[in-house]
């Protein structure tokens, strides 16, 4: 297991983790059968790729903020905060989405990353957030429940949870 020089933390996308980001995302895309064609252009001009992802932007038809979970040169995963819900996001997606790249899984990082993400939600004025996960996603359900997720039913294969954001 790679030792980290500092505790991982959320930052806006940064070129400091270029190598680690591209390797981690490439491996997961290949493993999960997702397209990799975006990685070439991203790697060719990583500064531009990063710049496009920093700050508030419109994604999923709502304002959203992208955070990367990093430690030094290591990229561990991504957490996205959607500042409000659409009817679609209220069914699947919710306010927060996240993933940890495979080499860093099962070490408690997602649980701690979501806790850090909730603090960012508070800074954005969100006091209660919806999270959803596929009914068969045991790991994500555990991450959500470890952070205080209260079940609120399920639909279309997605389980819904509300988290009251704890004060910082
Ligand atoms: C879901 C995901 C973010 C979990 O990341 P992680 O860093 O491995 O999670 P943690 O280490 O914090 O583990 C959280 C809990 O899930 C458990 N867990 C982790 N992976 C698991 C797996 N594959 N199967 C069953 N349980 C698992 C851990 O043992 C831990 O349980 P505990 O709290 O009872 O000890 C990661 O697997 C991932 O990125 N998956 C793909 C994307 C995804 O599913 N995102 C969420 C969409 S809602």
Q: Is residue 1 part of a domain?
A: no
Ligand 1 binding pocket includes 109 (Cβ within 6 Å): yes
Q: Is residue 3 part of a domain?
A: no
Q: Is residue 35 part of a domain?
A: yes
Residues of the chain with pLDDT under 70: none
Q: Is residue 154 part of a domain?
A: yes
Residues contacting 139, CB < 8 A, separation 6+: 105, 106, 110
Ligand 1 center–CA 48 separation, angstroms: 31
Q: Which atom of ligand 1 is nearest to the CA of 105?
A: 8
Instruction: Give backbone dihedrals phi and psi of 89, rounded to 5 degrees, phi first.
Output: -65, -30
The confidence score (pLDDT) of residue 26 equals: 98
pTM of the shown model: 0.97
Ligand 1 center–CA 167 separation, angstroms: 25
Ligand 1 binding pocket includes 111 (Cβ within 6 Å): yes
Nearest CA, atom 19, ligand 1? 139
Ligand 1 binding pocket includes 143 (Cβ within 6 Å): yes
Q: Is residue 71 part of a domain?
A: yes
Long-range own/partner contacts, residues 38-46 (CB < 8 A, 24 or more apart): 43/18, 46/15, 46/18, 46/22
Ligand 1 center–CA 139 separation, angstroms: 3
Q: Domain holding 20: CATH number? A: 3.40.630.30
Number of structural domains the chain divides into: 1
The confidence score (pLDDT) of residue 64 equals: 98
Residues contacting 152, CB < 8 A, separation 6+: 130, 160, 161, 162
Structure tokens at 51: 């710049």
Counting beta carbons within 10 angstroms of the beta carbon of residue 29, is it exposed (0 to 12), middle (13 to 18) or buried (19 or more)? middle
The confidence score (pLDDT) of residue 3 equals: 87
Residues contacting 137, CB < 8 A, separation 6+: none
What is the extent of the structural domain holding 76?
9-164
The confidence score (pLDDT) of residue 164 equals: 98
DSSP 148: T
Ligand 1 center–CA 133 separation, angstroms: 11
Q: Is residue 4 part of a domain?
A: no
Ligand 1 binding pocket includes 140 (Cβ within 6 Å): yes
How far, in Å, CA of 100 to CA of 77, rounded? Answer: 4
Q: Is residue 77 part of a domain?
A: yes
The confidence score (pLDDT) of residue 165 equals: 96
Q: Is residue 151 part of a domain?
A: yes
The confidence score (pLDDT) of residue 47 equals: 98
Terminal Cα distance for the chain, rounded: 31
């Amino acid at each position: 297991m790679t030792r980290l020089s500092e505790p991982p933390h959320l930052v806006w996308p940064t070129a400091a983790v270029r190598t680690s980001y591209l390797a981690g995302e490439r491996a997961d895309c290949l493993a999960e059968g997702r397209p990799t064609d975006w990685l070439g252009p991203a790697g060719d001009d990583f500064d531009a790729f990063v710049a496009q992802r920093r700050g508030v932007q419109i994604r999923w038809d709502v304002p959203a903020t992208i955070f990367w979970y990093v430690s030094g040169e290591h990229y561990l995963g991504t957490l996205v905060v959607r500042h409000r819900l659409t009817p679609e996001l209220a069914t699947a997606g919710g306010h927060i989405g996240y993933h940890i790249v495979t080499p860093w899984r099962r070490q408690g990082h997602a649980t701690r990353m979501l806790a850090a993400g909730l603090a960012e939600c508070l800074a954005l004025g969100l006091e209660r957030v919806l999270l959803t996960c596929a009914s068969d996603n045991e790991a994500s359900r555990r991450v959500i429940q470890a952070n205080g997720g209260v079940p609120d039913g399920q639909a279309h294969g997605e389980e819904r949870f509300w988290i009251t954001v704890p004060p910082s």
